[in-house]
Structure formats: structure tokens, C-alpha cells
Amino acid sequence: MPVTATVTGDGKKITIHISGEFNFSVYKEFREAYQRSAQPANTTYVIDMAGADYMDSSALGMLLLLRERAGGERSEIVITHCNPEIRKIFKISNFDRLFKID
């Protein structure tokens, strides 16, 4: 499965694991994963990129969708275990101003 999700802490935290290519082809799964939260504004989202080997701008777009759903500026989204290429993409787009990149 390219996208799997685990819900913990009474539904307050959703960890989404991405594997393979993070692009528009996994849009449906990604959306289904983050839609599991009952109260998106009060949920912490952790996007685990350990298994992801490639990311393109459509993935950045999907993260923006998540961010909007989670409350925009007040959202709590952490992106972890990025490989150097993916980290570089976040750097160039300056998305580290919108998401916490671990």
C-alpha cells in the first residue's frame, strides 16, 4: 500500500506513512487517510516519509489541501524522515514555513 495510516491518542493524532512515489497517483489514498480524523482542527498529523523515494509538486499541493483542512495557520502538521532529495524540495519551495520538517 503506498499510503497507510494509524490513528492514536483517542483520534487526536494521525500518522500517515508514504511509500514509493508521492505524487498525484496516491491522491485518493492520501485523502482517505487524513479524512479519518473526526475533528481535523484538533488533530496532529504526522507524515512519515521514510518509505517515500520521490515527491513532486502535486504532492506539495496535496499537503496544502491537508493543511487547509487542518486549520491553515493553526494546523499541526509534522513531516518526518525525509530523504535528502525530498528535503531539498521542501527547501526550494520554502514549505518549511508552512510545515514542520523534521
Partner 1 sequence: MAEPLPVPLPGAETQSALESAAPAPLRFLIVDDERTNLLVLRAILEHAGHQVIEADNGANAVLAFERERPDMVLMDVMMPVMDGYDATRRIKTLAGSHFVPVIFLTALTDEAALARCIEAGGDDFLTKPYNRVILQSKISALLRLRELYWVREKQRDEIQLHHQRLQQEQTLAERIFSKVVHRGCLDNPAIRYLVSPVALFNGDLLLAARRPSGGLLVMLGDFTGHGLPAAVAALPAAEIFYEMTAKGYSIGEIVGEINHKLKSMLPPELFLAACLLELDVSGASLAVWNGGIPDVLIRDANGKTLRRLPSRHLPLGVVNNSGLDRSIELARLDAGDRIYVYTDGLTEAANSNGEMFGDQRLSRCLAEGADDPYALLCATLARFRGDIAQRDDITLIELTTAAAGQVAATDTSLSVVPPHPPAHWRVTLELKIDALRQAAPLPPVLQLVTELQALNEHRERIYLIVAELFNNALEHGLLRLDSALKDSPQGFAEYYRLREQALAVLADGWIEIELAHVPRQGGGRLTVQVRDSGPGFAGQAFPGSAGTMTASGRGMALLRSLCKTVVVHAPGNHVEVVYEWP
Interacting residues toward partner 1 by CB under 8 A: 24, 56-58, 60-62, 64-65, 67-68, 91-95, 97-98
In whole angstroms, the minimum distance from the beta carbon of 85 to partner 1 comes to 8
Cβ closer to partner 1: 7 or 71?
71
For 33, counting Cβ atoms within 10 Å of its Cβ (0-12 exposed, 13-18 middle, 19+ buried), the class is: buried
In whole angstroms, the minimum distance from the beta carbon of 8 to partner 1 comes to 26
Instruction: State how far the Cα of 26 lies from the Cα of 20, in Å rounded to an integer.
Output: 10
| Angle value at C-alpha 90, between 49 and 99, nearest 5 degrees | 75
Cβ closer to partner 1: 46 or 62?
62
In whole angstroms, the minimum distance from the beta carbon of 94 to partner 1 comes to 5
